[in-house]
Structure 1
Amino acid sequence: MNRYPDPSAVMGIMRETANSVILPRYRSLQRGEIQEKTGPDDLVTIADIESERRMTPLLQDLLPGSLVVGEEAVSADKLILNALTGDAPVWIVDPVDGTRNFARGDSKFCVMVSLVHRRQSVLGLILDPLGERCAVAVRGEGAWMCHYTGREERLSVLAGRPSTEMRGALNFRFMPSPLKEEMKERAKDAVEEHFRYGCAGHEYLTLLTGKAHFAMYPKNMPWDHVAGTLLHQEAGGFHARFNKMPYLPDQLDGGLLIAPDEAAWDDLRDRLWP
């Protein structure tokens, strides 16, 4: 990892951006500072735009020759996604994950940054600015929670157990009917409890801090999942696409199922899917 930036430097950029750009807008957004992208459930705020704009050159300065794939930049030009299959290292940025929550004053929002090189995630961070903590993972070096106080703790996922005894996040939003309706019915008996926060980053944090066992997502936008899947893997967990093939950062479909271990993954897959 010596050729990649120190994760503490990345965390510093994220913290400074959150403090100067995002938090001053929390519960203070003005008329005209919230816009729809593809519809009323897909929003962008001035905090999203300005924080991505601020972090982009700072991250590139940390790693000369690197590129940036930011959620808002891709919204304007989808060809930027092609960088994920090239040879240059690529930063993936979600400037405000959980924008709908942020826009309505809900506390479940975060900032996510990851680094990918040759289709492999090597660094992942999820910053919870209100919780004053940042989950950090370096490939092969484990996952850690770094608190603003300076305290650090190693992260590990909950142990696997039968699906009917597991709690986790289920997102059915992009599933086609009638599969969506059937899986919702199956979930009532398949798992003990399921929830949805509307913020993938906070859902990953529940997995990393022992508050939930699993998560499922039908759509694999890289800014939503590259940081979280690396963190979860480094904390001892198992994830794969719905067909159990490995997940790569440039794959936008095929879904993601995340579980404590492979046996728990198989149990969830068998019980949730028709």
Structure 2
Amino acid sequence: MTAEPNHIARLLRDTAATAILPNWQGIAARHKSDGSFVTESDPAAQRHLTEALAHDFPGIPLLGEEMTRAEQERMLRNADSALWVVDPLDGTSNYAAGFPAFSISLALIEGGRPVLGAILDPVRDECFVAARGRGAWLNDRPIRPFAPSRSIRDCLAMVDLKRLPPELLQAVTRHTCFGSQRYLGSVALEWCWLAAGRFQLYLHGGQKLWDYAAGRLIADEAGAAALHLIPDSLEPGTEITLEPRLAIAAANAELLRAWSDCLELAVDVG
């Protein structure tokens, strides 16, 4: 069976209805060894989606957030052939607190790069999908980024302050070059909202592969401009890896250049 966006969207909706929404606003969370939150819904959603994908697409392994590091490294060796990458519940802190911003994120990686991505916001029943070279959609409607003007001073910025390197955090707070700042708390949804034109500037200091594999593809296919950098060196990091990446993006290349200049980043944005 060929993986098509609409089929993947149905699998995500079924997973949300079965393993995520029934427990929302009434579930306890605990800390994992890395300090992040996890609930019973996280592994339940991963199990449900793993079983569905194994049934419909036998032979394609899956790398999930709720795996050990050793298991993830073993799965990543298939990135040059075919590999599913899933975050079964992106925004677990929001989910446990009752804040309505969380998602399921699924990407298919082939040849060392994402070729298909789907992200479901189960609260709003919004499913964002993209296929490499074919564009991006929200519930079957094509999406594009939006910018109110050519100036970043008119733009809304989505900025995660917590994970930024000190020098970049200082640049953000020193230069008030954007219109206003928000933070959603679900990396996957943040990429989708950029793609759909709901904000114009993006900065996040530490994204894992399962956070961005689908979302970055959706933003790219919609027409946004984005870079992933190695946090310590702020050098471009393009390979598929388990190491975190710093993300900087904007609604278009012109705004990305202005955003990079504002943040004093010496990077080539094209």
Find the partner of 1:258 among 249, 253, 268: 249
Contact 2:73 2:242 in 1 (8 A): no
Equivalent in the alignment of 1:54: 48
Equivalent in the alignment of 2:156: 167
Equivalent in the alignment of 1:232: 219
TM-score, length of structure 1 as denominator length: 0.87
Distance in 2 separating the partners of 1:44 and 1:165: 37
Contact 2:202 2:250 in 1 (8 A): yes
Equivalent in the alignment of 1:8: 6
Q: Cα distance 1:102–1:4, how it changes in 2: closer, same or farther (>3 A)?
A: same
Alignment of 1:201 onto 2:194: no
Quote the sequence identity (%). 26
Contact 2:187 2:207 in 1 (8 A): no
Distance in 2 separating the partners of 1:98 and 1:254: 17
- Per-residue CA deviations over 1:243-271 (Å, capped at 9, x if unaligned) read 57363432634411111222221211111
SS at match of 1:23: helix
Q: How does 1:1-274 map to 2 (within 5 A)?
A: 4-29=2-27, 33-38=28-33, 42-73=36-67, 76-86=68-78, 87-146=80-139, 152-159=140-147, 161-177=150-166, 179-187=167-175, 189-242=176-229, 245=236, 247-250=238-241, 252-273=243-264
Identify unmatched segments of 5+ residues in structure 1: 147-151
- Per-residue CA deviations over 1:107-141 (Å, capped at 9, x if unaligned) read 11111111111211100111011101201101111
Contact 1:169 1:214 in 2 (8 A): yes
For the aligned residue pairs, the C-alpha RMSD in angstroms reads: 2.1
SS at match of 1:17: helix
Distance in 2 separating the partners of 1:134 and 1:221: 21
Distance in 2 separating the partners of 1:246 and 1:4: 30
Distance in 2 separating the partners of 1:253 and 1:202: 18
Q: Which amino acid aligns with 2:30?
A: Q
Equivalent in the alignment of 1:149: none
User: How far 1:82 sits from its partner (Å)?
Assistant: 4.5
Distance in 1 separating the partners of 2:238 and 2:227: 6
Q: Which amino acid aligns with 1:217?
A: H
SS at match of 1:241: strand
Identify unmatched segments of 5+ residues in structure 2: 266-270
Distance in 1 separating the partners of 2:242 and 2:96: 28
Contact 1:14 1:55 in 2 (8 A): yes
Distance in 2 separating the partners of 1:99 and 1:219: 16
Distance in 1 separating the partners of 2:169 and 2:108: 36
Q: Which amino acid aligns with 2:32?
A: K
User: How far 1:144 sits from its partner (Å)?
Assistant: 0.7
User: How far 1:176 sits from its partner (Å)?
Assistant: 3.5
Q: Which amino acid aligns with 1:197?
A: L
TM-score, length of structure 2 as denominator length: 0.88
What is the count of residue pairs matched by the alignment?
Answer: 259
Distance in 2 separating the partners of 1:24 and 1:253: 31
